[in-house]
Structure 1
């Protein structure tokens, strides 16, 4: 073979003029076609005059390049007048095709899986989160999915002919994003260690991302990229922004947003019934969300009770009166009066105040007026009304409102899960529905959570959030319920008012 130069090929002297003599002369004055040494994948670059004109994995690929340059289909690849071989002759083709295809297939599978998973995580928050910070977190995950999709396209080029010099760096960025995302998911999973089907996705994806990172680092996939340090700094800054946004949306903002309610329960002026020995007592119940976060009202109840007691001259002290009253049916352990003994309470009226699962936005208020009846000769000394609500913050979770509005009677024997013998439970209404955390990272690393509310007239008032559906026959983990109530910002608010029966009767003219 002759020496490779940037000029024309230097061929030997023609010994005889064959029928292809003119063609040989033309070929001999063409610029030399240089076949470069194989790279780490076995691909050989083909150049003419120092300019790349193609690449080849095999002699067949090289012939395709030569045909585009105008050379005959059956030309001799060992013709030194036309070709110059560097780093091995025409017999050196170290392409490990199946190994290369396996590598790019595994790389594509991991990138596409991570892309889909990032979109699944981010889209619900990006499109429907209540707070701006949570939406930003969702948008960042969606953008990460787009980058992962571009990385999958770049992987085809990087393990192919590398026509785009930034393809290796793009694949590296995608792998780093996948590693960060799967790492966050795994750390969140370690907090509760609950099995979910999503675990079968992000744990293998985490292992894949570590393998992919090792492969790309060994191949120095960032080579050829100008100012790689600045690009790396941009990737780190984006990761930090995502982490800060995530922390802000899951920890700081829910903790700093105030929760306040204005609850009122008061009696109006009683009216005597001219035909019946009763007085009609009106009352007004009012609620307003004066805090900074919308809420779901998951349970509520108002209860009117009459109090009956025995009176004394007060020879004993308050502590003695209280000790004698504690533990007796109908008494309240938090009350003690010197001249009153044997307190007993009787439910006069009880009902719902608000629709189960309905939200109460910031500044929204709700009022209800009710009337109950008391006999003119009732034996109560006072009447009290209490209004109590149980709520859950909307910035922590999204309740399946339609399912929660359907009440399940406990006396319905056809529904075994909610059934309870009336002799034991009396009559209760059970409301239950799934709740999803407003940060979708929590949803994919936890089992489903359920909100349950139990209501019955007379004061049966229970609200809980747990990972197990409601079942009368199985006791739940109350420690978990307390943790979940705190996680979703569930709490209660209560107000009460008391008036003497004498005042009511006097206002009615009795």
Structure 2
């Protein structure tokens, strides 16, 4: 029977790592001859021991020169794997965190939480890279890295698919396009080396991977294909004139006006612009029934074409106008608001009829979020605010509200250019609303009518669920206004 050697150095494995066995027990592994000497030194073997003596060291699968490890390649592969997992983890958290905290619906928050959880799993997988590409002390490290790479593939593929719909540049494009290529490379590498080996119950692990993949696919499909609830928006909007108040010692009449709105539906909404206007108009009598013959001339004084036989319409004049609720505020489901206004008229004002109109532009809160700065007005005639300034002789005098608008589905936000909502109000032109990629970063302000991209505005309004509602009321002035010539 031969003499049992003190040390056995096993043949290199697929990565070039050789196990070191002493007295039948694995005491370590070495990538190189120098590392083998250090291991033996820590165990008390003298540096002068003869490594070529078969009675001292038994070399299997190659002699002392057989060290096939390529450290630069192994470390580079580990570094690329680590960076890819960390980048994917950060991307998942950036996508999921806003939805998990601020999404309006519970389902959207669940989807956001799934993305955050996926990012945390990839952080654990990134930590497992050091062991999997090192000594592999933890049996499950390879499976964890495989799971992290598997999570990255459907997310990056979906982001590319969504980006192709608009093909707009976004900084995230520099992340998810390389990330998709990385995920294919990482999965190919890990599957080729069967990274799941060493897991105590590989079938259960495979089932878990498939379940996580299915969950990710479902959440992505829900996020990309889900359209916010189709429940209609219902409002109660009213304008009501009160009883005119007169005073014998005054030359004026005070006409109360009550404006009322209630969100009678189940979806909260932003009020992005609003306006109320009180008009005064006069009619001249047409005893001969000439009103029908001259209806084409009268139509220019009306919003809706009408014809009346015994009355002729005249031009309308604005008596009072302004905001009712205020841009940037919102109405929760069931919330109501009312405001009292007073219209003051001279007793001899030449009006036979008063008309009040109230309108609101709203945006569904289940479609998007508007940043807080939108509610702070800026003035187009203010030279100190160069970003929004436009000469009054060119643009008129406008009050402008401007801010970022975000989709409730953050997957859309990272695959599109930023969108901004702009509301404009002035006494002469009334309210208007635009949603587009314009951010007032240059002169030539399109919102003042110079270069409106009507197709983009219409598309974005539809996506964010913006619309307008209006109501009106009329009051005959007979009995409280003494018009010239009435006696």
Q: TM-score, normalised by structure 2?
A: 0.89
When structure 1 is superposed on structure 2, of 33-42 and 447-456 the one drifting more is 33-42
Do the aligned partners of residues 204 and 91 (structure 1) sit closer, same or farther apart at CA in structure 2, a change above 3 Å counting? Answer: same
SS at match of 1:202: helix
**Cα distance in 2 for residues equivalent to 1:172 and 1:287:** 56
- Which residue of 1 is the match for residue 54 of structure 2? 80
Aligned counterpart in structure 2 of residue 89 of structure 1, from 63, 70, 80: 63
1:16 corresponding residue in structure 2: none
- Label 1:160 to 1:460 Cα distance change in 2 as closer, same or farther (>3 A): same
Whether contact under 8 Å (1:137, 1:242) holds in the other structure is: no
Q: Select which of 353, 378, 390 maps to 1:408.
A: 378
| CA 1:333–1:314: 2 relative to 1, 3 Å | farther
Asked if residue 123 in structure 1 is aligned to residue 97 in structure 2, the reply is yes
1:315-326 alignment, distance < 5 Å: 315=289, 322-326=295-299
Match of 1:367 in 2: 338
| 1:85 positional shift | 2.5
Given the alignment of the two structures, is residue 486 of structure 1 paired with residue 457 of structure 2, yes or no?
no
Which consecutive unaligned segments of at least 5 residues does structure 2 have? none
Q: How far apart, in 1, do the equivalents of 2:392 and 2:356 lie?
A: 27
CA distance in structure 1 between the partners assigned to 2:465 and 2:479 by the alignment = 41
Q: Distance in 2 between matches of 1:72 and 1:426?
A: 93
Shift of 1:365: 1.7
RMSD of aligned C-alpha atoms?
2.7
Aligned to 1:376: 347
The one-character-per-residue Cα deviations of 1:406-428 (angstroms, maximum 9, x if unpaired) are: 32222234445533443454322
Question: Out of 462, 484, 491, which is 2:432 matched to?
Answer: 462
Secondary structure of the equivalent of 2:20? Answer: strand
Which among 227, 234, 253 is matched to residue 279 of structure 1?
A: 253
Q: In 1, distance between residues paired with 2:214 and 2:472?
A: 49
Corresponding residue for residue 71 of structure 1: 45
Task: Write the deviation string for residues 257-310 of structure 1: whole angstroms up to 9, x where unpaired.
Answer: 442222121111111122223321111111122222222211111111122233
SS at match of 2:8: strand
Contact 2:362 2:467 in 1 (8 A): yes
- How many pairs were matched up? 477
- Which residues of structure 1 form unaligned runs of 5+? 1-8, 12-27
Q: Residues 383 and 89 (structure 1 numbering): CA distance in 2 closer, same or farther, change over 3 Å?
A: same
Q: CA deviation at 1:247?
A: 4.7
Cross-structure match for 2:265 = 291
- Matching of residue 427 in structure 1 with residue 397 in structure 2: yes
Distance 1:256 1:384 in 2: 34
Match of 1:114 in 2: 88
Contact 2:349 2:481 (8 Å CA) reproduced: no
Question: Corresponding residue for 1:387?
Answer: 358
Paired position in structure 2 for 1:348 = 319
The structural deviation recorded for 1:458 is: 4.6
Q: Deviations over 1:143-166 (max 9, x none)?
A: 111111111111111111111122
d(CA) in 2 for partners of 1:135, 1:421: 46
Measure the CA separation in 2 of the matches of 1:251 and 1:349: 46
1:200-239 alignment runs, 5 A limit: 200-239=174-213
3-state SS of the aligned residue for 1:374?
Answer: strand
For residue 150 of structure 1, the aligned residue among 124, 142, 156 is: 124
* 1:383 Cα deviation after fit: 1.4
After superposing the two structures, state which structure 1 stretch, 242-251 or 257-266, moved more.
Answer: 242-251
Name the SS of the counterpart of 1:363 in structure 2.
Answer: coil
